[in-house]
Amino acid sequence: MPRVLLIEDDRAVREGVALALRRQGHEVGTAVTGEEGLRQARSFRPDVAVLDLMLPGMPGLDVCRALRDLDQTLPIIMATARGDDEDIVVGLEAGADDYVVKPVQARVLDARIRAVLRRAAQAPGDGGIPKLDTYGDLTVDRAGFSVALRGVPVALAASELRLLLTLSASPGQVFSRQQLLEAVWEHSYHGDARLVDACVKRLRAKMGEPRYIETVRGFGYRFAAR
Amino acid sequence: MRGLSARRSRVPQLLGLRTRLVLAFALVAALTATTTGALTFREARTGVLQQSQDAVISQLRAQANRLAPDLDIPPTQDGLRRFASDVAASEPSGAWRVMVTYGELSATSAAGDRFAELTPALREAVRSSVATVFQRVRTGDHTSLVVGMSVAFTTGAASGLRIFLTVPQATEQASVDALVTAVERATVPALVLAVLLALLAARGVLRPVRALRSATRSIAEGRLDTRLAVNGSDELADLSHTFNETAAALEASVAELRGMEARARRFAADVSHELRTPLAAMSAVTDVLDEDAARLDPDTATAVRLISEETVKLARLVDDLMEISRFDAGAAVLHLDEIDLAESLRRTLAARAWTDLVDTELPPPDTLRGRVDPRRLDVVVANLVGNALRHGARPVRLRLTGSTGTEPRAVIEVLDSGPGIPAHVLPHVFERFYKSDAARTRTEGSGLGLAITAENVRVHGGTVRAANRPEGGAVFTVELPLHNEENR
């Protein structure tokens, strides 16, 4: 049973969402403030965090960064008001994997949670025989879902890992942002392409030079085997 | 229209303030110089000539008085000739030519002199009058003074002797000519000075006028804080002052209007924002209500389903209101991506299970790519197709074509086969909450769909229009530029 940590200050929203998620088969832990959320993240050990960006006290974006520092791989979904465009970009760059716009129906939120969990479930080492692909300094284990750079494991968030796996599966092939939104985030074709851009940015930062992910102007991204 | 406006603009250029001032000043200067010159010339000329002729006449009279007593009356031809020579010789320069007549006898100081300057009129005047008569006669380039007088006895009786004198007036003519030249020479500098003064005056007048003109233009372009510097206290300064007051009043009322409008928009945005949190809680549990409604008694189930359905509609309405507020606040941002437009349209239909309800005419994959905001394009197409499906009648067609030109565009058309849009509704279809019938029946839509469509097209720099097809049914046409700049 997936464990969801819900950080939301409004009582009605918190109780409504928690109730709905429990009915969808999740185990839900709730927190009213960012500080409480960070404590819960240690004790409750969630599989996924749903974080309201508009929090009293510690700002949602700081909570997002702190959660990411705490656990590089914990999937984080931001709940935002539409139009808070800058918050979305900053949140994605701070390490959030996805976002939903409030008000959101329970089944939409559930679908997003299951999508990030599918990403996360592929993540680290459930053993088996490693299926290693090497591209220059980069080693991708497609069975163990891990990535190493010059032999050193790189901790990737769920969306980052799945994006890298998708791109590197067909080196040289150009993927449009829309294709990646569907393949990695399970969003609609018309989803927010900034998810892809922000995730590529984070991946590039973690993998350093040379660039394994190339921008193809006007089309999208491709993995360059080096 | 073009030719007319060009002509209108040329006339003021020809007769501009500067030209008119220069012309007026030059005219006044020329008139003054000419009049003054003419008057001066006339007075001076009269003075010069009067003086010389007075001198000549008095000298002639003195010589006649001195020499006449020695002449026998009646004289002989020889005596007359000698008398004439004596009179002529009394003038030392020798410029005098003298003719003396007595009855039929006549003699001149120079032999054979025909005395051409003497006119019959003068001859007649001397015969009929006792006074001295003179005339200025011009022959060729030379002017001569011709003087005639009758000589009387001391008793007062006429002697019958008449003396005529011709004096060339070269010196006097030279003085007069010099005077004319002087007047001419004075006129030219006066004219130049007048033109310079006119230009200076024109500059003084034109500078404030020009400043006023550019300030007016600046106001017209929306820079309402434009003010003029007021110098001095003449009419132009007064005008500048009035201009400043008008501009200040205009600025104040525009600011007030803007403030009111901003407050109204803020209010709409705030209301939508405040509604969102309770809606977020309600939206989260609609699925729970839907699931459990089947197990409740029929009345409660109906009530629960009603609440669930209306919550979803309310959420959509608030979402649309927020979207409109962002357009109003100018906060709508384009997230551009270059995509295959046909693919995008296909996905829009597929995502709403409309693929089988709509006939499509789309170009082949990857033949029409454009830089657009995919989410906004989805909203545009979904609103137009949804509108056609709700209010029009099938078949509904979705057509995408590319138009090449200076700015390549994508043309998206949504055609239905319904009754079309009444003519009185057509101009209002993109207005917010516009309902075509007075009953204001609520439909599935929020009443903002087409308004949001129009705004989304507008932020792309495109156009949208509604029309009725001649063969029946309505057609909505969207034109989008294919190469949008980032975040216009």
Q: Say which CATH architecture domain B19-177 belongs to.
A: 2-Layer Sandwich (3.30)
When comparing pLDDT for A215 and B331, which is higher?
A: A215
| End-to-end CA separation in angstroms for chain B | 34
How far apart are the C-alpha atoms of B109 and B98, rounded to whole Å? Answer: 5
Cα–Cα distance measured from residue B322 to residue B334, given in angstroms and rounded to the nearest whole number = 16
How far away is chain B from the Cα of A220, in angstroms, using its nearest Cα? 8
Instruction: List CB contacts (< 8 A) between B486 and chain A.
Output: none
Decide: A100 and A108 in contact? Cβ < 8 Å.
Answer: yes
> Pick the residue with more confidence: B274 or A83?
B274
| Cβ proximity of A225 and A171 under 8 Å | yes
B283 touches chain A (CB under 8 A): yes
The answer to whether residue B303 scores a pLDDT higher than 90 is yes
CA terminus-to-terminus distance, chain A: 41
CATH topology of domain A3-121: Rossmann fold (3.40.50)
How much of chain B, in percent, has pLDDT values that exceed 90? 16
Q: Between chains, do A13 and B277 touch, taking CB under 8 Å as contact?
A: yes
* Amino acid identity, position B249: A
Domain boundaries defined on chain A = 3-121, 132-223
CA A40 to chain centre: 19
> Token pair for residue B238?
């007064």
Place of tokens 């080196």: A171
Q: Do B414 and B392 meet the contact criterion of CB atoms below 8 Å apart?
A: no
In A, which residues are within 8 Å of B340 by CB distance?
A: 176
pTM exceeds 0.80, yes or no = no
Q: Domain boundaries in chain B?
A: 19-177, 236-328, 337-481
CATH number 1.10.10.10 given to A132-223: yes
Instruction: Identify any residues that bridge with B475 across adjacent strands, giving them in sequence order.
Output: B415, B467
Task: Tell me the Cα Rg of chain A.
Answer: 17
Please give the CATH topology (third level) of the domain spanning B236-328: Helix Hairpins (1.10.287)
Q: Half-sphere exposure of B282 toward its Cβ, with a 13 Å CA cutoff?
A: 18
Instruction: Decide if B322 touches A, using CB distance below 8 A.
Output: yes
CB atoms B284 and A189 under 8 Å: no
Secondary-structure percent of chain B, ordered helix, strand, coil, rounded to 5: 55, 15, 25
Smallest Cα distance from B219 to chain A, Å? 34
Span B95-107, average pLDDT: 83
Contact residues on chain B for A16, CB-CB shorter than 8 A? 280-285
Q: Cβ of A178 and B291 within 8 Å?
A: no
Q: What is the CATH number of domain B337-481?
A: 3.30.565.10
Contact: B280, A10; criterion CB under 8 Å:
yes
Rounded to whole angstroms, the Cα distance separating A108 from A196 reads 20
pLDDT at B396 > cutoff 50: yes
pLDDT over 90 at B384, yes or no = yes
SS3 A31: strand
pLDDT digit string (tens) for B229-282? 887 777 888 888 888 899 899 999 999 998 988 888 888 878 877 888 889 899
Q: Give yes or no for a contact between A178 and B378, defined as CB atoms under 8 angstroms apart.
A: no
Residues of B in contact with A107 (CB under 8 A): 287
Spatial distance between the Cα atoms of B488 and B486, rounded to a whole number of angstroms: 6
Closest CB from A12, A109, A218 relative to B338: A218
More confident residue, A38 or A138: A38
From the list B281, B318, B344, which residue is nearest A13 (CB)?
Answer: B281
Whether residue B287 and residue A10 make contact (CB cut-off 8 A), yes or no, is: no
In angstroms, the CA B392 to CA A35 distance is 54
